[in-house]
C-alpha cells in the first residue's frame, strides 16, 4: 500500500504506519499549467492520498490530477483522505446557486477515486450526494480523552446549534461521569448568525463543542449569550480550525480560556499556541485505514 502525501500533511503522515511512501511532484509548465510526476510503480497497488481540496483552487486541481495519474498508471484502488473536506457546506439545491458538494463527489469519481475518508462531515446530506463511498470519522473519542484530563466540576456541555447535538451527545457518552447538556437553536440571516433559543441550565464553566471554527460567527454569538447568562469560563472544542479573519478573536473577551482543535487543517504559525491547542486525528485515522 502506498501513501501519497501533500506537503501540508507531512507531519500527520509521519504518525501513520503500514504504508510505503509514495513519492510524487507537482510542477508547472512555463505557461503555468499543472502537471504531476510519480516516483513509484503503482500498478495493481492500493493507493492512498492524504491531501486537501481547500482553496486556493489549484489545491483541488492538483489532488484530482494526482488521483487521475494513479488511475492511469494502473492503481488497484485509490482512497482520498481529506481530513477536512472543503465545499461540503454547499450541499443544498438552492435556486441559481452552485452545489459544490455534488460536483466535488463527481470529480473524485471521474478522477479514479473509489473512496473518500474525512473527519466530521458537515452533514449527512453530503454522503447522499457522493457517487462513491464517503466515510466520516468522529472526533468524539479525541475530545473525550482531552476532557478526561480536566477537572470537570461545575461544567456543562453546549452545542451551539442543533447540527452539533449528535457530536456533543457522543462525547458525553464517552466520559466516565456524564455532564449536564444544553443547546442552542440557530438561524442564518444576511447579516450573520443569530441564536433564537437556549435549552438547558448553565453552570460555572461551559464546554462548547462544534464541528468548525471558520469566521467564528456562530461561536461568538453563542458565547455572548452564555456570558450574559453568567457563565464565567468557557472552553471550545472544534474539529476543524479554519480561523478565518478576525471576528473569532472576540471569543477571548467573552470568557473563552482555551480553544482545542484537531489537525485536520494545518494551523497558521501566527496563532497563539498557548491558547489554541491542537489534538491529533492520527489514532482514529490509523484505525480506519488498516
pLDDT digits (tens, 9 = 90+) for 1-33: 999 999 999 999 999 999 999 999 999 999 999
Considering the domain architecture, whether residues 76 and 15 belong to the same structural domain is answered as yes
pLDDT, residue 186, reads: 76
The C-alpha atoms of residue 81 and residue 85 are separated, in whole angstroms, by 9
Mean pLDDT of 153-161: 96
Extended beta strands in 6-154, E state:
20-21, 24-28, 34-38, 46-50, 77-81, 115-119, 133-137
DSSP 8-state symbol, 98: -
Q: Is residue 285 part of a domain?
A: no
Instruction: Give the end of a domain, one of 137, 171, 193.
Output: 137
**In this structure, are strands 181-189 and 192-199 parallel, antiparallel, or unpaired?**
antiparallel
pLDDT confidence bin for 244, thresholds 50/70/90? very high
Mean pLDDT of 57-84: 97
Q: Is residue 287 part of a domain?
A: no
Considering the domain architecture, whether residues 146 and 265 belong to the same structural domain is answered as yes
The C-alpha atoms of residue 117 and residue 85 are separated, in whole angstroms, by 9
Instruction: Give the end of a domain, one of 112, 137, 162.
Output: 137
pLDDT confidence bin for 190, thresholds 50/70/90? low
CB 204 within 8 Å of CB 227 = no
Q: Is residue 114 part of a domain?
A: yes
Instruction: Tell me how far CA of residue 77 lies from CA of 39, 105, 208, in angstroms.
Output: 18, 16, 39
Considering the domain architecture, whether residues 129 and 147 belong to the same structural domain is answered as no
Instruction: Give the end of a domain, one of 137, 172, 198.
Output: 137
CB 289 within 8 Å of CB 48 = yes
pLDDT confidence bin for 191, thresholds 50/70/90? low
pLDDT, residue 128, reads: 92
Q: What CATH number is attached to the domain comprising 56?
A: 3.40.50.2020
The C-alpha atoms of residue 170 and residue 147 are separated, in whole angstroms, by 13
pLDDT, residue 49, reads: 98
Task: Report pLDDT digits (tens) over 91-146.
Answer: 899 999 999 999 999 999 999 999 999 999 988 899 999 999 999 999 999 999 99
- Checking if the pLDDT of 75 tops 80, the result is yes
For the chain, give the mean pLDDT. 94
- Checking if the pLDDT of 41 tops 70, the result is yes
pTM: 0.94
Chain centroid to CA 281: 10
Say what percent of the chain tops pLDDT 70: 97
pLDDT confidence bin for 274, thresholds 50/70/90? confident
Greatest mean pLDDT among 94-108, 186-200, 262-276:
94-108
Considering the domain architecture, whether residues 144 and 273 belong to the same structural domain is answered as yes
How many structural domains does the chain have? 2
pLDDT confidence bin for 189, thresholds 50/70/90? low
The C-alpha atoms of residue 40 and residue 49 are separated, in whole angstroms, by 13
DSSP 8-state symbol, 236: E
Considering the domain architecture, whether residues 9 and 128 belong to the same structural domain is answered as yes
Q: Is residue 71 part of a domain?
A: yes
pLDDT, residue 254, reads: 95
For residue 148, what are the domain limits?
140-280
CA triple 273-278-280, angle to 5 deg = 155
β partners of residue 26: 36
Considering the domain architecture, whether residues 107 and 201 belong to the same structural domain is answered as no
Amino acid at each position: 500500500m502506498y501513501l501519497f502525501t501533500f506537503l501540508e500533511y507531512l507531519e500527520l503522515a509521519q504518525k501513520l504506519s503500514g504504508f510505503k511512501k509514495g513519492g510524487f511532484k507537482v510542477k508547472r509548465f512555463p505557461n503555468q499549467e499543472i502537471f504531476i510526476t510519480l516516483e513509484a510503480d503503482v500498478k495493481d497497488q492500493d493507493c492512498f492520498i492524504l491531501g486537501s481540496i481547500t482553496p486556493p483552487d489549484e489545491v483541488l486541481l492538483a489532488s484530482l490530477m494526482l488521483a487521475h495519474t494513479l488511475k492511469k498508471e494502473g492503481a488497484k484502488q485509490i482512497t482520498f483522505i481529506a481530513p477536512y473536506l472543503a465545499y461540503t457546506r454547499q450541499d443544498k439545491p438552492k435556486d441559481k446557486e452552485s452545489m459544490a458538494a455534488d460536483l466535488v463527489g463527481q470529480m473524485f469519481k471521474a478522477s479514479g477515486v473509489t473512496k473518500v475518508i474525512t473527519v466530521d462531515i458537515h452533514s449527512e446530506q453530503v454522503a447522499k450526494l457522493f457517487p462513491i463511498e464517503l466515510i466520516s470519522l468522529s472526533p468524539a473519542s479525541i475530545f473525550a480523552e482531552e476532557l478526561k484530563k480536566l477537572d470537570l466540576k461545575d461544567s456543562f456541555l453546549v452545542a451551539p446549534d442543533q447540527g452539533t447535538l449528535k457530536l456533543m451527545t457522543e462525547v458525553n457518552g464517552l466520559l466516565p461521569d456524564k455532564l449536564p447538556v444544553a443547546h442552542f437553536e440557530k438561524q442564518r440571516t444576511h447579516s450573520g448568525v443569530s441564536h433564537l433559543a437556549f435549552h438547558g441550565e448553565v453552570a460555572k464553566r461551559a464546554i462548547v463543542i462544534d464541528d468548525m471554527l471558520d469566521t467564528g460567527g456562530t461561536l461568538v454569538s453563542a458565547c455572548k449569550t452564555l456570558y450574559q447568562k453568567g457563565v464565567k469560563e468557557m472552553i471550545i472544542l472544534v474539529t476543524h480550525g479554519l480561523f478565518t479573519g478576525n471576528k473569532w478573536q472576540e471569543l477571548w473577551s467573552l470568557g473563552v480560556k482555551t480553544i482545542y482543535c484537531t489537525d485536520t487543517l494545518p494551523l497558521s504559525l501566527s496563532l497563539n499556541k498557548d491558547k489554541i491547542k491542537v489534538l491529533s486525528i492520527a489514532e482514529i485515522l490509523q484505525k480506519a485505514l488498516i
